[in-house]
């Protein structure tokens, strides 16, 4: 199986966790793109989707799935999204696709977060994947200096402006032994909009596409 095959297997397995006649929160990325294709196959059975990016919104609309405004909803059952890394506590690094802010917002509203990954995303400790941090453009150099002070090596992601008009710093060389603490610490740096540690609100169910099929853990 190729990595894409494993992503597709995890994405289609997520259908088993989608209650009918509900609103589904949809993340961003290549694994989620497979999930959107899967969701389209049951679109008559769902009320609609809440999207975490313009990229996902376009794909949902192209497949005839209604995209709803998060502000018109006070809760919904399931959010499905990928991750760049996930540890045994179901804490994630996300943001490889620069959608981390809206992903974190939609995930915060969802009752259940289902993470769909291929086996390459499973790590014992977060941090080998450079940690994305969304920053207000005028603060990018200041935030980079603050992140370097805590042991990272912050690099401005070239040529990327997020859906919210902000920039991304990718922080290399972190070994994240205490994700919940570091997530809060980085949030406190003035100028940071969102950081890609998803630990305070971790995934609830993880579907891992692997050579042996799809593993489920929660
Ligand atoms: O940017 C993101 O958070 C995406 O979910 C990313 O983490 C996963 O992207 P992939 O499914 O293309 O590997």
Task: Assess whether the C-beta atom of 120 lies below 6 angstroms from ligand 1.
Answer: no
Pairing of strands 110-118, 76-81: parallel
What are the φ and ψ backbone dihedral angles of 117, each rounded to 5 degrees? -140, 160
Distance between CA atoms of residues 105 and 90, nearest Å: 18
Catalytic amino acids? 103
pLDDT tens-digit map of 166-188: 999 999 999 999 999 999 999 99
Mark the binding-site residues for substrate, compressed into ranges.
28-31, 81-84, 94-97, 121
CB contact at 8 A, 10 and 209: yes
Q: Is 29 exposed, middle or buried (0-12, 13-18, 19+ CB in 10 A)?
A: buried
| Ligand 1 atom 5 nearest Cα | 82
Task: Determine the distance separating the centroid of ligand 1 and the alpha carbon of 124, expressed in angstroms.
Answer: 18
Distance between CA atoms of residues 7 and 148, nearest Å: 34
Pairing of strands 197-198, 92-93: antiparallel
Query: Residue 201: its pLDDT value, please?
Result: 97
C-alpha 16: how far from chain center: 20
How is residue 28 written in tokens? 């961003």
Name the residue of 54, 83, 105 whose CB sits within 8 Å of the most ligand 1 atoms, as the mutation to test its pocket. Answer: 83
Task: Assess whether the C-beta atom of 31 lies below 6 angstroms from ligand 1.
Answer: yes
Query: Residue 84: its pLDDT value, please?
Result: 98
Residue ranges, the chain, pLDDT below 50: none
Residue 61 burial (CB count, 10 A)? 13
Task: Assess whether the C-beta atom of 84 lies below 6 angstroms from ligand 1.
Answer: yes
ipTM above 0.95, yes or no: yes
| Ligand 1 atom 6 nearest Cα | 83
């Amino acid at each position: 199986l190729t990595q894409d095959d494993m992503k597709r297997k995890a994405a289609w397995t997520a259908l088993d966790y989608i209650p009918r006649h509900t609103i589904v929160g949809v993340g961003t990325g290549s694994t989620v793109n497979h999930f959107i294709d899967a969701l389209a196959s049951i679109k008559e059975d769902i009320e609609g989707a809440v999207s975490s990016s313009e990229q996902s919104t376009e794909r949902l609309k192209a497949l005839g799935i209604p995209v709803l405004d998060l502000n018109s909803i006070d809760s919904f059952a399931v959010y499905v999204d990928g991750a760049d890394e996930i540890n045994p506590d179901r804490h994630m690094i996300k943001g490889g696709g620069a959608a981390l802010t809206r992903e974190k917002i939609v995930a915060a509203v969802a009752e259940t977060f289902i993470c769909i990954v291929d086996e390459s995303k499973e790590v014992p400790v977060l941090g080998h994947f450079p940690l994305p941090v969304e920053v207000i453009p005028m603060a990018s150099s200041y935030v980079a200096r603050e992140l370097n002070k805590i042991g990272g090596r912050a690099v401005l992601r070239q040529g990327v402006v997020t859906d919210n008009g902000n920039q991304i710093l990718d922080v290399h060389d972190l070994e994240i032994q205490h994700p919940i603490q570091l997530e809060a610490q980085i949030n406190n740096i003035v100028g940071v909009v969102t950081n890609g540690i998803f630990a305070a609100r971790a995934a609830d169910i993880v579907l891992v596409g692997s050579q042996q099929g799809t593993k489920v853990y929660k």
